[in-house]
Amino acid sequence: MGKVAVGATVVCTAAVCAVAVLVVRRRMQSSGKWGRVSAILKAFEEDCATPISKLRQVADAMAVEMHAGLASDGGSKLKMLISYVDNLPSGDEKGLFYALDLGGTNFRVMRVLLGGKQDRVAKQEFEEVSIPPHLMTGGSDELFNFIAEALAKFVATESEDFHLPEGRQRELGFTFSFPVRQTSLSSGSLIKWTKGFSIDEAVGEDVVGALKKAMERVGLDMRVAALVNDTVGTLAGGRYYNPDVAAAVILGTGTNAAYVERATAIPKWHGPLPKSGEMVINMEWGNFRSSHLPLTEFDHTLDFESLNPGEQILEKIISGMYLGEILRRVLLKMAEEAAFFGDTVPSKLRIPFIIRTPHMSAMHNDTSPDLKIVGSKIKDILEVPTTSLKMRKVVISLCDIIATRGARLSAAGIYGILKKLGRDTTSKDKEEEMQKSVIAMDGGLFEHYKQFSECMESSLKELLGDEASGTIEVIHSNDGSGIGAALLAASHSLYLEES
């Protein structure tokens, strides 16, 4: 698990980004084509601006929405879902635990042997299984039978190293990355399918119940100890190694955040207070929206043409699913209104999502003198055989504007969580040293898009100030959806007293 101090000396202020864009723009101040390209670039840069004052407004709005979502269901754009996880892993957990991670066209089955604080994850094994397309749109029993059969086959390969004490039932953490209305730690009804699945009879049903019945049908004796979302799993994985982890954020294809809240600060919780006094909240922060978010004409049209207009607005401007698409839309406007690629608009440029965020990251990371990678990506993706250095520099400027906005808004979201928890500042009045807060991060966007993650971390430091940022750390905590689920099965095991 890698970690990066928030105090990393990466400069990513709005002013510095503006200087880089200004250099490109001045070189284009001429009549005709380049004048229009320059005007589009300038307007886009201004609309995407994230000065520190705006980031503070976004963070304040995030904290307000968090309060509202905790007060009542439907009271906020943030769902603030109660996860029923009130006992995060401590590192003391021992024994054999399984995980099932279902989040797309493949699923993973995993087993881990936990050895307490000394050995941690002593041994782990996993297998990935592809789901045949006909099962994604067939019947519920057929899908869950297939999953249970694969799980039973995997259990059958358990070696002597993974010893299960006599009289114990195997326990499983189930990561189910589809919208679920959770009703307890180990039950939840499916709200809707996404990612190409469409099994109508399963909607509204308890997904754990469906899995249990399938396991019974194939003769597999296993208890589902926890139904978890991948962000909650990331939080569990982070806490297992570091007791100061207070929140987890996923920045990948999509985005979400989860954090540890005081149980007494959740007015909509009507059950008995957990012994730990804490409850993990799944924010579903991708659905956040605010008048303070810097939205452009391209964001509005992208949202309007999407499958879920008006929803997931934050996700549509900061996550990996959309950054490359925003770039495509700006380039299309330049091509149509300023003949950026010549007299004809490249036909490939009209295809939504043809520019993916990994393409954008590769271009943004191009440090060659002639920006050779930018040229080759434009050629491969858009089938534009030649581009001038001037054009390539415009593409780099657009990447910088889009990534900077996304990274700085991500930082504002994290700052909003810290504000809600009262960990955003140091107080001279407090006799005690301020509590250290660690943010566990995961997702391909954070892990692989260097400019994005560095800009996010430096922007968080800028928001916190030097003194407070000394108490905040950002770490990379990967595979929350696998290891995290197994760890939550362990921390909610029936056999805790015996471990």
Q: Which positions are annotated as active-site residues?
A: 195, 230
Coil, strand, or helix at residue 435? Answer: coil
Q: Which of 171, 170, 172, 176 is nearest to 205 (CA)?
A: 176
Distance CA 80, CA 67 (A): 9
Long-range contacts of 310-315 (CB under 8 A, 24+ apart): 311/287, 312/286, 312/287, 313/287, 313/288, 313/289, 314/255, 314/285, 314/286, 314/287, 314/288, 314/289, 314/409, 314/413, 315/254, 315/255, 315/286, 315/287
Q: Residue 286: what residue type?
A: G
Distance CA 27, CA 41 (A): 13
Residues 6+ apart with CB under 8 A from 216: none
Token duo for residue 372: 């050779």
Distance CA 294, CA 135 (A): 42
Distance CA 324, CA 346 (A): 17
Coil, strand, or helix at residue 380? Answer: helix
| CA-atom Rg of the chain in angstroms | 24
Distance CA 225, CA 173 (A): 6
Distance CA 488, CA 332 (A): 47
